[in-house]
Chains A and B, each alone.
Chain A
Amino acid sequence: KAGVTQTPRYLIKTRGQQVTLSCSPISGHRSVSWYQQTPGQGLQFLFEYFSETQRNKGNFPGRFSGRQFSNSRSEMNVSTLELGDSALYLCASSNRDRDYEQYFGPGTRLTVT
Chain B
Amino acid sequence: AQTVTQSQPEMSVQEAETVTLSCTYDTSESDYYLFWYKQPPSRQMILVIRQEAYKQQNATENRFSVNFQKAAKSFSLKISDSQLGDAAMYFCAFKIIGTYKYIFGTGTRLKVLA
Range of interface residues on chain A?
Answer: 20 to 34
Interface string of B85-114 (1 = CB under 8 A from A): 000000101010001111111110000000
Q: Chain A residues near B103: list those with CB within 8 A.
A: 45
Interface residue ranges of A18-56 to B (CB < 8 Å): 31, 33, 35, 40-45, 48, 50, 55-56
Please judge, given known A-B contacts A40-B106, A43-B91, A100-B95, whether A31 and B44 are in contact too, CB under 8 Å. no
Q: Give min CB distance, B61 to chain A, whole Å.
A: 14
Q: In the complex the two chains form, what is the Cα distance from A55 to B50 in whole Å?
A: 24
**Interface residue A90 (Cβ < 8 Å from any Cβ of B):** yes
Give residues 77-113 of A contacting B (CB, 8 Å): 90, 92, 94, 96, 99-102, 104-107
- Name which of A44, A45, A96 has the most chain B CB atoms within 10 A of its CB: A45
Q: List 10 additional A-B contacts (Cβ < 8 Å) besides A42-B107, A104-B45.
A: A42-B105, A43-B93, A43-B104, A44-B104, A56-B100, A90-B45, A94-B100, A100-B33, A101-B47, A102-B102
